[in-house]
Every structure is written in structure tokens, then in C-alpha cells.
Structure 1
Amino acid sequence: MRVFIQFLILGVSGLILAGCDASTDQRAADNRGFVFCGPGQPTTFNPQLTDGGLTADTLSSQLYDRLLRLNPKTYQPEPMLAKSWEVSEDGKTYTFSLRRGVAFHRSVQFTPSRYLNADDVVFSFRRLIDNNHPYHPVSGGQYPWFDSMDFSGLLKDVKALDTYRVQFTLSRPDVSFLSTLATNFSVILSKEYADQLLTAGTPEKIDTYPVGTGPFALAEFQPREFIRLRRHWQYWQGPAPMEQVVFDVSTRGTGTLAKMLTGECDVLASPVASQLPVVVDDKRFHLSSQTGMNVAFISLNTRHPALSEVEVRQAINLAIDRNALLSSVYYGTGAPATSLLPPMSWAYDPNSQTEYNPKLAAALLAKAGYRQGFSVDLTVPMKPTAFNPSPRKTAELIQADLGAIGIRVNIIPEKTVNRVAIREGDDAHDMVLTGWVADNGDPDTFLRPLLTCNAKFTGWNMSNWCNRYFDQKLNEAIATEDTEARKALYIEAQTILNRRMPVVPLAHGIQHQVRDASLKGLTMTPFGADSFADVSRGR
């Protein structure tokens, strides 16, 4: 693997970089490719089947396009595969006009006979919402991100009006719908490819041998080693400067920081905060930072005897020293969370506050009848994330803080939180250290999937909390296009959360990315990696 990547960087491997010879000029050699190093192993190449990770956060924007994309400055939806759209007066019908001449990838498995059309859009979304669709159960039949927001309950129907017009019909008005279509999850697949695979009896290949319209296509995948993408020459926005991109997903050998320092990586995605001092003053590298649309929090199971008491939940919130957390875990690169919504959200409540007051916390415990404290389990996924660079260390700090007021915390390491068990009503968890990364700029994407009554049935509402007044505020907010009215409603919803405290917000992480200084056009967004379609090298 190391030899493979070194040859890619040097631009001398005839196997990896086809067409390389001694007469090629330096710029052409530089633009043959770059190596992207980051955490995670893909379990699928279809982001519809995931709730995050490498596939949704990074690969999606390379392999696929969406109807809409988010403007990098305003975070508002703008045209992508859809060149325009109309919305009915009742806010329930959206009609999109598609671009013409958009080509799908060619591969060993598939040679497209036509350009993208309305049938592809209908297929991509009907698979998600129609239990009787032949592709709905393929690859497990779970669509976690869409399930978290009750997408099948929102999208009533999608149909082709003609070759290049598609109509979506909603069950209720939802002004966040356009933002949903702009996320990295809402990708457009090829119906022609799907039909071919279904006839061959291999429908699952649509998710493991992907075909999209993005700037790059899958060329090779060696599990736990590397993913190689090749340039899509017929990309509708013009071919990318780079011939290929290699994702180093190996887990053996030196760590990613060491690979960056030795030149085996051109890009280091999501370096942990403790690694930043090593690269920040090195002129070979460029460090980019982006305030993240994310939050780390503790989910409190409101069915637990002690945690069912509001005073106990408020006591837990008051007992946690967030400044110590930011210093020890985030190394000063995060911000304390006073709400689930980060400060960069347009609906953030500037009056929300978080107090560290262990004395008041102990008094609230006594008031709730727990003067002697109690024991509780804290489930802790071990994987570092943008919102929590060291979950284990965070858990230990929480354990110490709560221990100081008499709450004895047992840390339960877990690779992943079992949302299926939670969805089916399993109350085995007491508290869960978790977090959320928004996939668009709308505040609804934070609050609805995590805390509404319907979210209890998706496994994302790990607090098992249901407040009809809170749900009412969110439903009113997505039914109006008046931004100021929406903001007022979201602030009311945040006030309810601050009083009832089903979750304890901890911190908002800052996203970092280190790249070789010669790379140009590599951008970051709060929602995941942007397209590599404009990445090149400059000397």
C-alpha cells in the first residue's frame, strides 16, 4: 500500500498513473492525482444507505450529483441537476426542470445508452419511500438518514411529468424540503443501470459498483487498503483537472499524520486537535478550519427512573465543566454548546446560556429525592468524530464531574449505538454520549430527527422524549416561509429544550483539514467534503 501511494505522489507508476512518460511536463504530472487520507471504511458506496461516514461525507460529492446543492456562502439551495423549480401555492407540490445532456459514468458493468432524465430521479426517490418497490429491500432496506426525518411520511409521491420534468408531492408543507434535496444523501442513481442489474439478478451491485453523474467514477476498491476514483470525462460541468483521486483507507502501518509528514498523503481529513501543532507552522502544508454545523451531547433516557425527573436532568447539565472539556479534549478548537443548534445557525438563540454550578446541581438532586445520588450507565461509542475528537476522554471527564455530585457513572464502551434496539423500545441504555452533524443549513435538520415524537420510532430519539408542544413549534416553523417567524418558533422550541433538558449539549467542534500546499481548489463545508472537480496543483 505504501509503495502504491508513494508512486502515485511521485507520478512515476505506469500501473497506477496510465500514460506517464519522461516527456510529460510537470503540470500534467502534478495533475494526475492526489491521495486523500481520512478515517473510516465504506460499507457501501450509496449514501442513501448510510447516516454519515466516508461515503456520505466525502465520496458522495465525487461519485454523484443531486437535484440541488448548497451555496458555499449562504448555505441556501441552488440549482445542480435541476436547473429550475416551481412550488405550488399550498407548499405541497414541487416541480423541477432537469438539465439536458448529463452523462452517467461508464464502467465494466455498465454502458449508458442515454443521458439522465426524469425516470432516474423518480427511481432514486421511489426506492426510499415505496415498500413495494423492487429496490426498496436491496442491501438491507434501511435508509437511516431519511428514516430519521420521516422522509417516507413527508414525500407522498414523485412522478415524471415528461422526459425532463419531475413532480414531488408532499403530505404537508415543508420549507426545508429543498435543503433536504441538496444534502449528500439525496443522490441521483441510474434507473437504466438498476433495470439491467435487476434483470441479471444482481441488484445489490447498484450500491457496491456505483454509477452516478459526479466528476469522478469508481475505478478500483481494495477493502481496508484504498479506493481509487477516475476522472469522468463527460462530466456536465467539464472534466476535472485531476485524472484520479486515491483514498487511503488502510489501517496498518504508520498513522495518517505520519503519512502526511512523509508525503504519502496529500490531504489529511479531520486531524485530531492534538495533531495540529505538528503541521501548523510547516510551510509544506496548509491548514484549513471551518466552524462545524455539529454538536456533541449526552442523550438522557427519560424512561430511566432517576433520569425521568427534570431536576435530575438539569443537575447533570449544571455539573459538567465544559471549559475543562474544551481544554482537555478539543485543545481550544471547540466552542461550548448552549443549545443543540450551533451559533452559526440562523435560528440559534443568542440568549441561551450554559452554567457550571455543581453546588446548585447537588441541590437539585436532593430536591428530586436523590440526595445520596444514584448509579447510571453511560454508553460511549469509541470512534473519534468532528464533534468529539476523543469520546473516551470526554466520558471520563463527565464521569468525574457527575461523581462530584453523587452520580456514579459506569462507562460502557460501544463501537456503535444500537439504534435498532432503541427503535424497538429497548431501554437498556441510560445515557448515551453522542452527537450530530447537520447535512444542510436548515435548523430543522438538528431538532426534528433527534427529539420529535416520531423520531422515537426511528431510533434517533435516544432520550425517548416526546413533547407535543415542542413538535407543534417545529411543525409551525416548516410550514411558513417567513424567516423571522420561523426563527421565533425555533427559539421557543430551544427554550422548551432548555427547561426540560432531555439532552445535555456539550460542545461544537471545529472541522480541520490539512493539505499539501501545492493543491489548489480544495474547499471545506460545514456539511462534509466538497466536490474535487476543481482541484489541481499549482507551483
Structure 2
Amino acid sequence: MPPAIRSRLTAPLLLTALLGPALAQAATLSVCTEASPEGFDVVQYNSLTTTNASADVLMNRLVEFDAASGTLQPSLAQRWEVSDDGLLYTFHLREDVAFHDTDYFTPGRPLNADDVLFSFQRMLDPNQPWHKVAASGYPHAQSMQLPDLIKQLDKVDAHTVRVTLNRPDATFLATLSMGFASIYSAEYAAQLMEAGTPEKLNSQPVGTGPFVFSRYQKDAVVRYTANAEYFAGAPAVDRLVFAITPDANVRLQKLRRGECHIALSPKPLDVKASASDPKIRQVHTSAFMTAFVGINSQHPPLDQPAVRQAINLAFDKTSYLKAVFEDSAEAANGPYPPNTWGYASELPGYAHDPEKARALLKEAGLADGFKTTIWTRPAGSLLNPNPSLGAQLLQADLAEVGIRAEIRVIEWGELIRRAKAGEHDLLFMGWAGDNGDPDNFLTPQFSCASVESGLNFARYCNPKLDELIAKGKATSDQTQRTTLYKEAQALIQQQALWLPLAHPTAFALTQKSVEGYAVSPFGRQDFSKVRLSN
């Protein structure tokens, strides 16, 4: 038991010991997660695991997207105005926001406009001293084309910031709700730079969010304490623990033993098995996500559309969904989940047709097939519940048409890093939209700028597709945007840039004592209002 809790609970220690470990940690919310974060300086990374461990618990953005209402809500900015021409955004900041007070940083002032300017300028301005500190660069800012979009940032006064855009962008406000747009302390950054230790921003993070970073033990645990000064109200628990547990079976066992209150990304089979367990509650929602196999269009012979089409035709998606997702997911036909406005339901997709796949390979001069590799992660996740089985099914189907694929199982952090560098051939991956906007799939995954940032796992740059994406963001007319996005989806499907797999149902398993927890369709995590009943 942590010392701070021990000092308050000395009297009932004997009773606590008798009642077991779950009650002993009543003030601590323990969450079994599936992977280690890459770091805590969220702007450097693109994985949802890192966003959950940093942006979601430690930080805030100017605005937040509310999944329940489907609207943008005030956060660090209590209100904002947009000019009629869509080029000027004026944000009015709250004046009561405190940065975390930790063993390594004591804030000298509340949040103000300087923090907002620093947070964006470090990503946008190559001359900003902090710009080169991020070893991994700024993949989201680059893929979302913010350096080209944002013309100027101005501090109007201590609590007002004006952003001038080079062109109207209907997605700009929604983009600001993404994890990478979190606001950092300029004061803390200056302290680290002066000390010559800027790398500590990634290992000793400071934010304004509901929880304060305490300690991280790689591949084991992340510990947080509640932020009693949180502007939106102190959390209902004293502590938050991420128990890093890659094996879904072990996550379920820990939940049943009371070692975790919440188990994320359960396997579909575990969801079924826990349905009759009176101690476990299931929480779920339709996920705004797509599981896919990225096909590296820069690696011959995958640079030929006919070869990528053959891979799509060779795969038996129906059998895959049944075996890997236990029928808990809907078949994907493209990048968008069906509940996305702008979804092109009329597109035919690729039916399982090995004979046609072989014919395409022959036309491409590959009648004898070719060798390639399949990359996947070792442990399961919501978008890939059984990586080993999924890779084996794909390998077997490709072998039927003459494609000899070697499976390579790569640890999650290394897989992400090497995939962003374009080293993969076929890559099991998934993408979660952050804010309900269709562009949140297109710009990060299919724009030319995103090839440079590494998020475009198809490694595909097409001027026509780039133009469709740009035009879609330039107008706020949803009908026009839908027309453009349907044309983009048709091009993506014709080029077979992905092997689309599934749109899963997002599940979490919790103990019955957990109250106030909801599963986000975007994979984000909010523990600020979670309570533990007796």
C-alpha cells in the first residue's frame, strides 16, 4: 500500500487485510492496458497507447470533442470566434488553469497565452529552439499539414491567442482536439532547456490534466496521482495505475482476481466468457476505427496496383473475421467505418476470388508469385485481437495464389518506429479517428505530407488524391465534402492501398465497483470521473 494511503488508513488496517487487496486499493483505480507508451511527449508519437498514457490523463487541449453529443466543447479555451472568411481564430483562455506541481517542477504562474504559443511553435517553427529536440519529429502536425496551414500565431493579451490560417480549413477546430495538440508549460520547457535536459519533457511530463505523472517502469506500470487543482474538478479516485499487461488472457485473470478494475482491449472470446460472470460488467460502443493491412506501395512488386488488388482478392475476409474477431466486428470495405458521414456504401470492394488474383499476378509478370513479408505485433489489441492467427490466415491465403510471405513478429514500439520509416511490406495496423470527421482518416493515412511524417503506411502519394483531400478541407459544405470524399474512397479502393479488415466493437471489462466509465468510439480514455463503489 502506498505510504500516503497508509497514513490515512492506519486504524482499519486489520480489516483491510482481511477483506483483501481490492479493498486495500479502494482509492486507486487500476487499469490493465495492452502495451507500453512510446514516451510521454505526445507530439512525437502517433500510437493510441501513447495518447492514452499522456494526452488523455495528463493534458488538455484548447477544445475537446465530446463523443456523446458529437460536438466540440470548450476546454482550456472557454470560448472562441472564427472570422467570416474562416482565416482568423481567436481563442479566449480560462484564467484558472494550474500546471502540475511535481517533485521536478513547481509552476510560477497559471496557464496563459505563452504556453499556447510555445506548444504550437515548437511543432511549426524550425527556428524555435525546441523544434529539433523531438527525436521522432512531429508526425501528426506534419501529416495534418499544420506548418503550411497556420500562417501566424499571435498573443493578443495574457489570455487571448489569435491563429491566422493561410486558407480556410473546415477541419481545423476538430484537429485541435487531437492528442498532439495538447498544451505544454512554456515555463517548464524553459527550465529544462536552461538545465540542458530538454529530453526530460518525454520522461517527466507536466500538464494541466486530471492526473499528475508519478512514475513509469517500462513494460510494467505507469503511476499517476489525482490532480486536486484540476480546473474541471478533482478526480474521484486518489491514484491511477496503468498495469501494462500485453496478454489479454492475463488482463482478464487480473480483473477477476481484483488486481485491475478495468481491462482494456479484451479478446472477443473473453467478452463472451465474461458475460455470465456476476463480478464483471461489459462496457462497449461501436468504434470509429478501421483495422487494415497497409501495403507499402514503394516496395516492388507492391508498387503495382494489380499486385495490391491481387492481395485483396486472395484474402478470405469472412473466415478472418470469424476466427480473429469472433464475429464481433463488421467487415471493412475501405478506410471509413459505415457510420461516417461521407461513407461510400456503393463501392464494390474486393470479394474473395483467388482465381482472379492469380490472373492479375500473371498479367503483372508474376505468374510464379513472389516473396514478401507480413509484419504484426506480438500481443493483441482492439484492432488486432489475435495477431498471430491473423498473420497466419493471411499467409495461407497468399500462398494459395503463389505469394510466399514470411511472418515477422515485432515488438510494438519498434514496429511503429520501423513502419513509419517505411521498412515494412505488409503491415497489420489500425487507425482510430479522433473527432468524427472523415478527413481524420484521409489526411493522416493518404496524403503526400503524411508519407514524409510516416503515418501514411501505404507510402502512397498521388496528386489527384491530395487535391481531393485538400478540397474537402477547404469547404464547410458537408454535401460538397461528401462528394469529394466518395471520389477519394473510390481512388483508394481502385489503387488497393489497404487490405481493409474490420470495424470492431470497442469493449472494456470492468469490475462491478467501477462507476462513471464509458468506452470512447475513438479509443480515447477519460478516467477523470470514474468512481469506485464499496
**TM-score with structure 1 length normalisation?**
0.90
What are the superposed Cα offsets for residues 328-353 of structure 1, whole Å, 9 maximum, x if unpaired?
11111111110111112222112233
Q: Which residue of the partner structure matches residue 110 of structure 2?
A: 115
Residues 1:397 and 2:388 aligned together: no
Question: In 2, distance between residues paired with 1:466 and 1:430?
Answer: 16
| 1:90 and 2:85 aligned | yes
Tell me: CA distance 1:207–1:369, structure 2 relative to 1, closer, same or farther (3 Å): closer
Q: Secondary structure of the residue that 1:167 maps to in structure 2?
A: strand
- 1:465 counterpart (460, 467, 487): 460
Q: Distance in 1 between matches of 2:63 and 2:404?
A: 48
Partner of 1:382: 378
- For 2:442 and 2:449, the matched residues in 1 are separated by 12
- 1:270 counterpart = 2:265: yes
Distance (Å, rounded) in 2 between the aligned partners of 1:251 and 1:292 = 21
Alignment of 1:308-457 (within 5 A): 308-354=303-349, 355-415=351-411, 429-457=424-452
Call closer, same or farther: CA 1:250–1:403 in 2, change over 3 Å.
closer
Counterpart of 1:63 in structure 2 is: 58
Counterpart of 2:129 (choices 109, 130, 134) is: 134
1:284 aligns with 2:273: no
Aligned to 2:208: 213
Verify: 1:511 aligned to 2:506, yes or no: yes
Change (3 A) 1:185 1:17: farther
The alpha-carbon distance between structure 1 residues 230 and 176, as it changes in their structure 2 partners (threshold 3 A), is: same
Task: Name the counterpart of 1:20.
Answer: 9
Q: Residue 453 and residue 239 in structure 1: after superposition, are their counterparts in 2 closer, same or farther (change >3 A)?
A: closer
Q: Residue in 2 aligned with 1:302?
A: 297
Distance 2:491 2:444 in 1: 16
Give the aligned CA root-mean-square deviation in angstroms.
2.7
With 306-315 and 386-395 compared, the bigger mean Cα shift is at 306-315
Deviation at 1:256, TM superposition (A): 2.0
The answer on 1:242 being equivalent to 2:231 is: no
Answer whether contact 1:287 1:515 (CA < 8 A) is retained: yes
Distance 1:45 1:429 in 2: 26
Equivalent position amino acid for 2:174 in 1? S
**Corresponding residue pairs, total:** 525
Contact 2:43 2:180 in 1 (8 A): yes
Matched, 1:528 2:523: yes
Q: CA deviation at 1:164?
A: 0.9
Q: Which moved more, 1:226-235 or 1:364-373?
A: 364-373
- The CA deviation at 1:173 is 2.0
Mapped partners of 2:360, 2:187: distance in 1: 62
Q: CA deviation at 1:141?
A: 5.4
| Shift, 1:187, TM fit | 0.9
The residue aligned with 1:484 is 479
- Following the alignment from structure 2 to structure 1, what is the Cα–Cα distance between the partners of residues 378 and 435? 26
Q: Distance between the aligned counterparts of 1:81 and 1:218, measured in 2?
A: 19
1:259 to 250, 254, 258: 254
Q: 1:29 to 1:74 in 2, by over 3 A?
A: same
CA contact (8 A) 1:31 1:241 kept: no
**CA displacement at 1:15 relative to structure 2:** 5.1
- Measured in 2, the distance between the counterparts of 1:74 and 1:537 equals 26
The 8 Å contact of residues 375 and 408 in structure 1, kept in 2 or not, is answered as yes
Pairwise CA distance, 1:65: 1.1
Aligned partner letter, 1:81? L
Q: Determine helix, strand or coil for the equivalent of 2:328.
A: coil
The C-alpha deviation readout for 1:215-235, integer Å capped at 9, x for no partner, is 111233344443221121111
CA distance in 1, matches of 2:183, 2:9: 34
Q: C-alpha offsets along residues 305-336 of structure 1, whole Å, 9 cap, x if unaligned?
A: 43333333222212211110111111111111
Letter in 2 for 1:138: V
Distance in structure 1 (CA, Å) of the matches to 2:518 and 2:415? 34
Instruction: Indicate the SS of the match to 1:40.
Output: coil
TM-score normalised over the length of structure 2 = 0.91
**In structure 2, do the counterparts of structure 1 residues 20 and 430 end up closer, same or farther at CA, with 3 Å as the change threshold?**
same
CA contact under 8 A between 2:210 and 2:528: conserved in structure 1? yes
Residue 78 (structure 1) aligned with residue 73 (structure 2): yes
Q: Find the residue that maps to 2:492 and give its secondary structure.
A: helix
2:35·2:246 contact (CA, 8 Å) conserved in 1? no
Q: Among 166, 188, 195, which residue is 1:200 paired with?
A: 195
Is residue 121–residue 189 contact of structure 1 (8 Å, CA) maintained in 2? yes
Taking the aligned partners of 2:130 and 2:475, their CA distance within structure 1 comes to 34
Whether the aligned pair in 2 keeps the contact of 1:76 and 1:441 (CA below 8 Å) is no
Distance 1:420 1:412 in 2: 15
Task: Give the unaligned 5+ runs of structure 1.
Answer: 1-6, 8-12
**1:224-273 residue CA offsets vs partner (Å, 9 max, x unmatched):** 44322112111112212211112223679x92222111111111111222
User: In the TM superposition, what is the alpha-carbon distance from 1:204 to its structure 2 partner?
Assistant: 2.5
Distance across 2 between alignment mates of 1:379 and 1:98: 44
1:498-522 CA deviation, whole Å, 9 max, x = no partner? 2121222122222211111111111
Q: 1:324 to 1:29 in 2, by over 3 A?
A: same
Alpha carbons of structure 1 residues 36 and 431: separation in structure 2 relative to 1, 3 Å: closer
Q: Which moved more, 1:512-521 or 1:399-408?
A: 399-408
Q: Distance in 2 between matches of 1:250 and 1:132?
A: 41
Q: 3-state DSSP class of the match of 1:359? A: helix
Residue pair 2:246, 2:379 contacting (<8 A) in 1 also: no
2: CA distance between counterparts of 1:29 and 1:205?
33
User: Which amino acid in 2 is paired with 1:411?
Assistant: I
Percent identity of paired positions between Structure 1 and Structure 2: 35
- The runs of 4+ residues in structure 1 deviating greater than 6 Å are 23-26, 417-424
How many angstroms does 1:408 deviate by?
2.2
What is the CA-CA distance between 1:136 and the residue it aligns to?
A: 1.9
CA–CA separation in structure 2 for the residues paired with 1:250 and 1:388:
15
- Superposition pairs of residues 148-163 of structure 1, within 5 angstroms: 148-163=143-158
Q: 1:20·1:29 contact (CA, 8 Å) conserved in 2?
A: no
Is the contact made by 2:140 and 2:453 (CA closer than 8 Å) also made in structure 1? Answer: no
Partner AA of 1:300 in structure 2: I
Q: What is the one-letter code of the residue matched to 2:449?
A: N
Instruction: Call closer, same or farther: CA 1:107–1:157 in 2, change over 3 Å.
Output: same
3-state SS in 1 of match to 2:474: coil
Partner amino acid for 1:22?
A: A
SS of alignment partner, residue 430 of structure 2: strand
